[in-house]
Amino acid sequence: MIKTFLKIISLFVLTISLSSSAKAVELEFYFPVAVGGAAATTVEELSNKYMELNPGVTLKPIYAGSYTDATTKAITAAKGGNPPPMAVLIAIDIFKFYDEDLVMPWDDILTAEEKENWIGGFYPAFMKNSQIDGVTYGIPFQRSTPVLYYNKDAFREAGLDPERPPQNWAEQLEYAKKLTKKGSDGNIERYGIRIPTKGFPSWLTSGLIYQNGGQMTNGLGTETFLDTPEVIEAVQYLVDLSEKHKVMRPGTLEWGATPKAFFEGQTAMMWTTTGNLTNVRKNAPFDFGVAMLPAGKSFGAPTGGGNFYIFKGTPADELEATKDFVKWMTAPDQAGVWTMATGYVAPRPDAWETQAMKDYVADFPPALVAKEQLAYADAEFSTYENPKTVKIFNTALENVMSGSISPADAMKQAQIDIDKILKDYR
Amino acid sequence: MNKKNNLLNVFYLLVPGFVLLISFTHIPAVKTLMNSFYSTAKGRRASKFVGLENYETLWLDATFWKVFSNNIIYALGVIPSSILLSLGMALWVNSKIIGRPFLRFSYFLPTVLPLIAVGNIWLFFYAPGFGLIDQIVTSLGFPSLNILGSQESSLFGVMAVGIWKEAGFYMIFYLAGLQAIPPDLKEAAMIEGANKWYIFWRITFPLLTPTTLFVSVNAVINSFRQIDHIVVMTQGGPDYASTLLLYYIYESAFVFWDTAYATTLSVILILLLCLIAIGQFFVLDKKVHYQ
């Protein structure tokens, strides 16, 4: 009795172990979602499609929350000795992953031809936060720039031309003043503009900085230049919108609540990522327009978003499968699907040349705005110990927005605090 | 022989509990203490012994003192309020009123919700512009509020959520305590001509002191342990105004990956809680009436 029982058990165990050592390669990857809309379902749909085309590969996309949460999750897994083969993580944490020795350079698994045609085929603006010393660590996937969304109905109401968005800082302020509306009780019921500043104001503020001709970092991750006139003036322009001109709600404003505030008519213009484009298109109960961020001394915008990273310790067969998957995800057809579902900018020029994309932009011209802004776009704030340094920068900006410190003092202190951290890396 | 047998039995019964306690509480605590004397290991640089340098950094860290005082304010605000509120709720719900089951249910409802869910609900309440509180405030003619977005009020906004969440839970214990008080004591007092207030102060409240001790220990632990609502509502901001010590530890460990500093902060938190626990049990124990 016992013998037969043991035989059955061992047979069972054998079958299980044999079936699990089958040829299927299993790739799990974390991905964050920082925008409203159907980003998570689109990732799953694309993964399912890839699995249909490639029966030997099982993909397991795992939604990991915000960019910060996804980074935490990925580093925790990697440090715990169980790294995922790949993950979509925020591009600017590149120095952090490099410093912690957790990620592999893509160059290690690419041929010379792939380096020239595949890597070389991405928009240069997006490669700025993706390479260290010319070595590629991140493949652009969900990349964006911020854009200006505006309520055309509100424009008409205020006597402004709905087909002419503000072109520069002066016009932006002037329009915002005209669009700010008081209710019957004397309280402001619609603000002219909303630039969210809670949590991570550095991204949108760097737009203002670039428009003002400033530079935040040296591009090598080892130095910042926050205590400079261009940066301070840009921050002053931002805080003046709420403190001095009263065209923006005072205090720090929530990123996630910004589209909703726009839909509810509490702000006539808003700055947010182009990744929210499809969300706004679906949900805005009024006619809206999209424009490049108004120019200061020139047009300017930060790039943003997440790249595909590969982790050290991944076996060779999984790396091959990962490379194939990521090449597929960034190929014109899939990049087009992703762009149309979210509003993110397809990261390669060839993605915009497919018939599907041409039809899409003909039908919905706002989708082109972020792509055209790429000509003026520059890197997002990125240094070693990025989580710490960007938090110092973000906190300084939040303090300015809550009125407790002047831009000059805040930037000076932030520069000092960041220098303390980065001096070990110089 | 019997005595030795007994001792052995006692030993066997205690061992599993001890093993769990030591491996999940004491050993990690000792390891944390040891780790706080080393620097953070990076991928490219191993950690090295630095003695008390981490503690020096902590002493000079303005953020740490801000976070520490935040936690003290949070504790001083939430603990008495939630206990008093729960006592009041229990007294009210214990008396004969219409709709008593419904009232008990609605008081207890916050407890069954996970704190993350509670945080999200209150995030909506506090949202400037279209949140519930702001809608009420603006309809009365006042200007819109940004409670979670201002440095002065974000900590209090978070405290309100803590009180709301816990009061219902403590109410249950007080309710049980109230129902365990023999009614003849009250009847005897009423015959003697005591008024409601006298009865409460001289009979009810002293007999509730065991419950109060239990509830206050829970309240102290919760005021240092619960940070889920901060993760959801303010992420510790603006500028650490609503950061509690445990949130700062989480951020240092898992966002900045400055693990050595995080262990140093953990040691401070453990010491603080030990001191409070000792204080509570020895000082308050004398005042508790068990009969």
> Is residue B139 a part of any domain in this protein?
yes
Q: A402 touching B, CB under 8 A?
A: yes
> A388, A397, A416, A422: which to substitute to probe chain B, counting the most B Cβ within 10 Å?
A388
> Is residue A210 a part of any domain in this protein?
yes
Say whether B257 and A387 touch across the interface (CB within 8 A): yes
Q: B238 touching A, CB under 8 A?
A: yes
Say whether A402 and B44 touch across the interface (CB within 8 A): no
- Spatial CB neighbours of B206, under 8 Å, sequence gap ≥ 6: B289
d(CA A321, CA A328): 11
Do A57 and A184 lie in a common domain?
Answer: no
- Spatial CB neighbours of A223, under 8 Å, sequence gap ≥ 6: A217, A383, A422, A426
Domain of residue A263, CATH code: 3.40.190.10
**B171: domain range?**
52-285
> Is residue B99 a part of any domain in this protein?
yes
Which pairs with CB-CB distance under 8 Å and at least 24 residues apart come from A227-230? A227/A411, A227/A412, A227/A414, A227/A415, A228/A411
> Is residue B2 a part of any domain in this protein?
no
Per-residue pLDDT tens digits for B68-93: 999 999 999 999 999 999 999 998 88
pLDDT at B19: 94
DSSP letters along A354-411, please?
SHHHHHHHHH-TTHHHHHHHGGGEEPPP--TTHHHHHHHHHHHHHHHHTTSS-HHHHH
Say whether A402 and B150 touch across the interface (CB within 8 A): yes
pLDDT at A9: 75
Do A192 and A291 lie in a common domain?
Answer: yes
pLDDT at A14: 66
**A286: domain range?**
146-303+382-425
Q: A424 touching B, CB under 8 A?
A: no
Structural domain count, chain A: 2
Query: Looking at the partner chain, which of A100, A252, A402 has a beta carbon nearest the beta carbon of B257?
Result: A100
- Go through A200-218 and write b for each residue having 16 or more CB atoms within 10 A of its CB, e for each that does not: bbbbbbbbbbbbbebbbbe
> Is residue A4 a part of any domain in this protein?
no
Secondary structure of residue B40 in the 3-state scheme: coil
> Is residue A80 a part of any domain in this protein?
yes
Residue that the structure tokens 């959520």 belong to: B161
Tell me the average pLDDT across B7-20.
91
Do A236 and A299 lie in a common domain?
Answer: yes
Do A256 and A334 lie in a common domain?
Answer: no
Q: Is the pLDDT of residue A15 over 70?
A: no
| Cα–Cα nearest to B213, from B273, B291, B107, B286 | B286
Do A51 and A158 lie in a common domain?
Answer: no
Domain of residue B67, CATH code: 1.10.3720.10
Do A130 and A155 lie in a common domain?
Answer: no
Per-residue pLDDT tens digits for B122-149: 999 998 878 899 999 988 888 888 888 8
Tell me the average pLDDT across A225-236.
96
Tell me the average pLDDT across B153-165.
93
- Spatial CB neighbours of A333, under 8 Å, sequence gap ≥ 6: A354, A356
Considering A359, A378, A397, which residue would you say is the last residue of a domain? A378
Do A173 and A250 lie in a common domain?
Answer: yes
Per-residue pLDDT tens digits for B167-192: 989 999 999 999 888 888 888 888 88
- For residue B48, the one-letter residue type is K
Q: A96 touching B, CB under 8 A?
A: yes
Q: Angle at which helices A316-329 and A332-342 pack, to 10 degrees?
A: 60
d(CA A208, CA A214): 9
Q: Is the pLDDT of residue A281 over 80?
A: yes
Give the nearest chain A residue to B124 (CA atoms): A257
Give the nearest chain B residue to A266 (CA atoms): B129
Do A294 and A311 lie in a common domain?
Answer: no
A-contacting residues in B 56-115 (Cβ below 8 Å): none
Do A257 and A401 lie in a common domain?
Answer: yes
Do A177 and A43 lie in a common domain?
Answer: no
Query: Looking at the partner chain, which of A264, A387, A388 has a beta carbon nearest the beta carbon of B130?
Result: A264
Query: Looking at the partner chain, which of A96, A102, A257 has a beta carbon nearest the beta carbon of B127?
Result: A257
Provide, rounded to the nearest whole percent, the portion of chain B with pLDDT above 90: 51
Q: B126 touching A, CB under 8 A?
A: no
ipTM above 0.85, yes or no: no
Structural domain count, chain B: 1
Contact status, residue A169 vs residue A293, Cβ threshold 8 Å: no
Q: Is the pLDDT of residue A385 over 80?
A: yes
Per-residue pLDDT tens digits for A140-164: 999 999 999 999 999 999 999 999 9
**Which residues on chain B are in Cβ contact (under 8 Å) with A249?**
128-129, 144, 146
Do A135 and A230 lie in a common domain?
Answer: no
pLDDT at A23: 60
Residue that the structure tokens 């940070």 belong to: B227
Do A240 and A187 lie in a common domain?
Answer: yes
> Is residue A14 a part of any domain in this protein?
no
Instruction: Give this prediction's pTM.
Output: 0.83
Give the nearest chain A residue to B46 (CA atoms): A100
- pLDDT, chain A, mean: 91
- The DSSP symbol for B49 reads B
Query: Looking at the partner chain, which of A187, A252, A399 has a beta carbon nearest the beta carbon of B143?
Result: A187
| Cα–Cα nearest to B69, from B290, B243, B191 | B243
